[in-house]
Amino acid sequence: MQSLTCVLIVDDNETDRYVLRRRLRRRWPTVSVLEATDGQAAIELLEMPGRTLPDVIFLDINMPRMDGHAFLKTYFGEDDRKIPVVMMLTSSEDEHDRQQALRFSSVRVYAAKPVEQSFIDDLPNRLA
């Protein structure tokens, strides 16, 4: 995967979504960015009929209604879905969150906020 066509950002913080959106568009100006404010909204969005699935999901952990762990369990728990997930950690030392996310094979990469441009630029290699 060298280029991203469509991504989904799941984060209740509008500022964090803005920063990530800007980083993505600096690297891939034509990328389609879908946004959801929590896990429940993300599932509703992904399961809309005719919806093109994103190439990668950027997933925050701490969200109201349905947090990142609950989203992973609900969306990836039973079906063999293969969308790679980038887990967004508020603190890079949050071992508790890392360990919980490790149970899901879709979680491929961890990124500490704020996400740097170099991380986004190198994302295809990280996901390969």
Partner 1 sequence: MNPTFLSRYRHVVTGPPRVPGRHGLTWRYVLALTIIGTVLLGQQGLSILKAGQHKSDGALINESGSQRMLSQRIAMLSNDLAELSDDGLRTERAALLRRSSVRMQVNHARLSADWHSRARDGQPDFAALLDEGGIAPRIERFLILAHEVLADIERPMADLPGARAAAAGLSDMARGDFLQGLEEVVELYERKNRESIARLQQAGTLSILFGLLLLAIIGLVIFRPMVDLVISTIESLKQSRDEQFELGRRLSHDLRAPIASSLGLVAVIAEALNEGHAGEAKNASARLQASLLRLDHLLDRLMGVARLHRVTPKPRPVDLAELVAETLEVKGLSAGTAVVGVLDQPVLTDRGLCREILLTLLDNAVAYRKGESARIHVSMRRTASAVHLSVQDRGIGIPESCQGQVFGMFQRFHPDRSEGAGLGLYLATLSARAIGGRLVYEPLPDGSRFTLILPPEAIAASATDLLGRTA
Binding site for partner 1 (CB under 8 A): 12-16, 18-19, 22, 26, 37-38, 61-65, 67, 69, 90-91, 94, 112-117
Nearest approach, Cβ of residue 29 and partner 1 (Å):
13
Nearest approach, Cβ of residue 31 and partner 1 (Å):
17
Judged by beta carbon, residue 12 or residue 109, the one nearer partner 1 is 12
Q: State the DSSP H helix or E strand holding residue 73, giving kind and residue range, or none if neither.
A: helix 68-76
Nearest approach, Cβ of residue 113 and partner 1 (Å):
4
User: Judging by beta carbons within 10 Å of its beta carbon (0-12, 13-18, 19+), is residue 86 exposed, middle or buried?
Assistant: buried
Judged by beta carbon, residue 68 or residue 84, the one nearer partner 1 is 68
For every residue of 83-106, DSSP letters joined together read --EEEEESSTT-HHHHHHHTT-TT
Answer whether 108's CB lies under 8 Å from 84's CB: yes
